[in-house]
Structure 1
Amino acid sequence: FKPRLNVYGSAGHLLCFVVRVEGEAVGYAFIWLTQDMHNSEPIAMEDTIYMRPDHRNGIGRRFTKHILAELKARGCVRAHVTIATDLRVAKMCERVGFKRSAIAMTYFLQEA
C-alpha cells in the first residue's frame, strides 16, 4: 500500500479509520474525500475497507456507522463503496442504508 500522500494526504483528503478490540487493530478503512465531477458536491469514495475475518460479527456495521457519521460531520453528501471481495458485505451495507446504484465493470487493457 503506497498512497500518494503528497497529493491527497497533506491536503486532508485521505482519511484513515482503525477499529481496535482491546487495543489490537482488527479493521481499517481508507476513504478519499473529493467532489462530484458533475456538480462539485462533497462526496466520499472508499479506497479500502477491511475487517479481520474473526471479527466480522457486528463490529463492521458499527464501524461503518461511525465512518458515515464522521463523513456527514465533514459535509459529505454521499459515500460510495465498491463491494469486490465478499458479497455478504453488500447485505450489511444495505442494512445501514446504502442503496444499490450501479454495476461496476472492469476491462483489462493489458494482462498482468
Structure 2
Amino acid sequence: MIKDPSKICLIYLAPGVLWIVYSDWLFFLLVPQEERYAMIQMVKGVLSIIITAFILFLLIRYNTHRLQEKNEELRVANARLRAGKEELNAQNKDLVQSLPSCVILVPAQCMT
C-alpha cells in the first residue's frame, strides 16, 4: 500500500512532465504540418487526461484493495479477541461460582 500521498503525486507528476516535454517534440517530428498542429494538441491533451485518469485509477484501486485487506484482517482479529474475552468471562464466572459461599480472611499473624 502506498502510505505517503506524496508518492502518488510523484507517480503522477513524473510521467506528466515527461509527456508535456517530449510529446510536443515527438508530434512535431511525426507531423510537421502546422495546420494539423492544433488538432494534434487537442488529441495530445485528451490522451494526457485518459492516461492520467488510468494511472490514478490503478493507484486508487491498489490502495483501496490493500485497505480492504487490512480491514478484513482487523475484523478477524477483533472477532478472535471478542471470543477470547467471552471465554475469559465464562472462566471467571465459573471460578467465582466455585468459591465457597463465605470466605473468612485471617491475618497471617493469627496463623502461627
Q: Name which one, 1 or 2, has greater alpha-carbon Rg.
A: 2
Of Structure 1 and Structure 2, the greater strand share is in 1
The structure showing larger relative contact order (alpha-carbon pairs under 8 Å, at least 6 residues apart) is: 2
Of Structure 1 and Structure 2, the greater helix share is in 2
Determine if the TM-score, normalized by the shorter chain, exceeds 0.5.
Answer: no
TM-score range, shorter chain: under 0.3
